[in-house]
Structure 1
Amino acid sequence: MVAVNIIISVAVIIVLQFIGMLVFNWMTPFNDMEELRKGNVAVGLAMGGKFLGTAIILGVSAFTNSTIWHMALWFAVGYVCLLAAYWVLELVTPKLTLHEQLQKGNVAVGILLASVYVGMGFSVSSLII
């Protein structure tokens, strides 16, 4: 029975991670995977940060909750915070359109976004505990 619960939990985590990355991909007017194929390091850094930020939230929510539904709920709360962090950063940097800079390959913006996503993942995870 424990093995079945672990398998189901891992499957749910993979699905939630995939959904999270898909939603992030929809937020940008360009295709993230196409930019990666072109070798756009800035997009790769930002995507890595998105993945780590969502993984941190998923990991903590899986560790601290006894049901898959609670884990998914806390992931949703944390994920909304990650999305909000992006939009707030976009608003407070009106002379720097983040998605345009990423598409141009601005590595500094990629690093900034990766750091924001990972930092927000850690910060939000502290609320879950």
Structure 2
Amino acid sequence: MDAFWSNEYVYIAAYCSVVVLCAVVFLAFFELVTKYRNWEEIKNGNMAVAMATGGKIFGIANIFRHAIIQHDSLLDMIYWGVFGFIMLVAGYFIFEFLTPGFKIDDEIQNDNRAVGFIAMVISIGFSYVIGAGIS
């Protein structure tokens, strides 16, 4: 069995499968905490939602990238990826808190692309900081 798990292809497939599963779960969580339905809005052409969601996807992937590079076991990678995701969600709520003049979710749902772009950049930028902390 050791030969099976030491195979590079199996190793990469296992990590990719776990990251895809985690990303689906994490995006479902974001779906619960936002007022809008991400995929419905994207289907309707809402670019602000697409940018914000794309930033979240990139952020999740970047966090897991650092978790994979830094940690040898699959369980450690999952642990640090989940921790990084929690930090990314915290960043999202801080962004909402720091903009009391308007509601982020409402602006993104109304296709305010400036807010969608800033949400994307915050997710991406924050994922680099989280990733550096994981590494």
Instruction: State whether TM-score is above 0.5.
Output: yes
1:52 aligns with 2:58: yes
Query: What is the alpha-carbon distance in structure 2 between the residues aligned to residue 6 and residue 56 of structure 1?
Result: 16
Which residues in structure 2 correspond to 1:34-73 (within 5 Å)? Answer: 34-73=40-79
Deviating beyond 4 angstroms after TM superposition, the runs of 4 or more aligned structure 1 residues are none
TM-score (norm 2): 0.91
Query: What is the alpha-carbon distance in structure 1 between the residues aligned to residue 42 and residue 10 of structure 2?
Result: 36
Give the residue type in structure 1 aligned to 2:115: V
1:111 paired residue among 99, 117, 123: 117
Task: Give unpaired runs (5+ residues) of structure 1.
Answer: none
Residue 21 of structure 1 corresponds to: 27
CA offsets, 1:69-116, max 9 Å, x none? 100111111101110011111111111100000110000000000000
Give the residue type in structure 2 aligned to 1:75: G
TM-score (norm 1): 0.95
Query: What is the alpha-carbon distance in structure 2 between the residues aligned to residue 107 and residue 119 of structure 1?
Result: 18
Query: What is the alpha-carbon distance in structure 1 between the residues aligned to residue 114 and residue 12 of structure 2?
Result: 39
CA RMSD between the two structures: 1.0
Query: What is the alpha-carbon distance in structure 2 between the residues aligned to residue 93 and residue 6 of structure 1?
Result: 40
Residue 12 of structure 1 corresponds to: 18
Task: Give unpaired runs (5+ residues) of structure 2.
Answer: none
1:102 paired residue among 105, 108, 117: 108
Which of the two has higher C-alpha Rg? 2
Structure 1 residue 62: Cα displacement: 1.1
Query: What is the alpha-carbon distance in structure 2 between the residues aligned to residue 48 and residue 5 of structure 1?
Result: 26
Structure 1 residue 27: Cα displacement: 1.2
Give the residue type in structure 1 aligned to 2:51: L
Give the residue type in structure 2 aligned to 1:73: Y
The share of aligned pairs that are identical, in percent, is: 26
Query: What is the alpha-carbon distance in structure 2 between the residues aligned to residue 72 and residue 59 of structure 1?
Result: 11
